[in-house]
Amino acid sequence: MFGFLGPNGAGKTTTMRMIQCISPVTGGSLEVLDMDVSTCQREIKSHMGVVPQENNLDEDFTVYENLLVYSRYFDIPKDEAEKRVEELLDFVQLLEKKDVMTESLSGGMKRRLVLARALINRPDVLILDEPTVGLDPQARHLIWEKLRNLKKQGVTIVLTSHYLDEVEKLCDRLVVMDNGKILVEGSPMGVIEEFIGSDIIEAENNPELLECLQQKEAKYEIIGDTVHIYADNAREISEFLLMECSLSKISARPATLEDVFLKLTGRRLRE
């Protein structure tokens, strides 16, 4: 499972669309399942499932029909398709909604249906562009469980998400990108350790603290009235700071992918 992270407009969806053979590759080369995207589009698409960033279900059809009609793009025999539709609706827990028109589904149900639709051709590669956006914690956990299941079955999953805890939990490897360029690549733990260290100490910003930090040659970042101190030895630094300078508030926590993301791509809003 591979994650693409990056701020709004970084080029994640554009990259996903190139992998799906929808957007042209303007530079370099791109192979999916050892096939070139510019010459083997049909073959690649037949092995691929896609959950696009925007839901694009057919509102004129029921839940069941949406999947059945989609199966025709892959020449799946009708009997087999009907069997798969039932299985997939069960997989995403939508069997009860089988005969409902999709426009009356909730946001989370629509997302689960799009995931089921992406699996109709039993893909080897699954592309997920922000699969859990807007979902409640229950639906998100359900999707995570399904994705882990698919991963166990050997499906390659490519994911974008702004929920960095999700990426940290699920992905084996990831890149952080911005302006169409890769900034880092590695495992979630690997990039956290490389760019932040194991822990972050958060303390209230004051001149005395900054002096202490400089004396200790600690790595830190000032964010408004808070200071983030990057540390592999949180306990030692916390104790030093508590002894040496007057602090009103200090807390330590494990570093996360979100810290890496903000460090690499800045804290200012895009566009």
Ligand X SMILES: Nc1ncnc2c1ncn2[C@@H]1O[C@H](COP(=O)(O)OP(=O)(O)OP(=O)(O)O)[C@@H](O)[C@H]1O
Query: Rule CB under 5 A: which residues touch Mg ion?
Result: 12-13, 53
Residues 182, 2 contacting (CB under 8 angstroms): no
8 binds, among ligand X, Mg ion, none (CB under 5 to 8 A by kind): ligand X
Cβ-based neighbours of 200, under 8 Å, separated by 6 or more: 228, 229, 230, 231, 234, 252, 253, 254, 255, 259
Considering beta carbons, is residue 231 or 260 the nearer one to ligand X? Answer: 260
Considering beta carbons, is residue 79 or 271 the nearer one to ligand X? Answer: 271
Considering beta carbons, is residue 68 or 159 the nearer one to ligand X? Answer: 159
**Quick one: which of 11, 108, 186, 197 contacts ligand X (CB under 6 A)?**
11
Decide: is 29 part of the binding site for ligand X (CB under 6 A).
no
CA neighbor of 67 nearest in space, from 42, 91, 39: 91
Which residues make beta-bridge pairs with 35?
32
Determine the residue with CB nearest ligand X.
180
CA 190 – CA 193 distance, rounded (Å): 5
Decide: is 14 part of the binding site for ligand X (CB under 6 A).
yes
Decide: is 9 part of the binding site for ligand X (CB under 6 A).
yes
Closest contact distance (angstroms) between CB of 13 and Mg ion is: 3
Contact stretch for ligand X (CB under 6 A) within 3-11, 75-83, 114-122, 222-230? 3-11
Considering beta carbons, is residue 8 or 248 the nearer one to ligand X? Answer: 8
- Give the number of residues in contact with ligand X, rule: CB under 6 A: 10
Considering beta carbons, is residue 13 or 187 the nearer one to ligand X? Answer: 13
Decide: is 164 part of the binding site for ligand X (CB under 6 A).
no
What are the φ and ψ backbone dihedral angles of 120, each rounded to 5 degrees? Answer: -60, -30
Phi-psi region of 230 (alpha: psi -120 to 50; beta: other; left: phi over 0): beta
**239, exposed or middle or buried, with CB in 10 Å at 0-12, 13-18, 19+?**
exposed
Closest contact distance (angstroms) between CB of 170 and ligand X is: 18
Decide: is 12 part of the binding site for ligand X (CB under 6 A).
yes
CA 71 – CA 60 distance, rounded (Å): 16
**Quick one: which of 108, 180, 186, 197 contacts ligand X (CB under 6 A)?**
180
Beta strands in 23-142 (DSSP E): 31-32, 35-36, 48-51, 125-129
What is the layout of strands, in order, in the sheet containing 250-254?
Answer: 219-223, 226-231, 199-204, 250-254
Q: Which residues bind ligand X (CB under 6 A)?
A: 6, 8-14, 53, 180
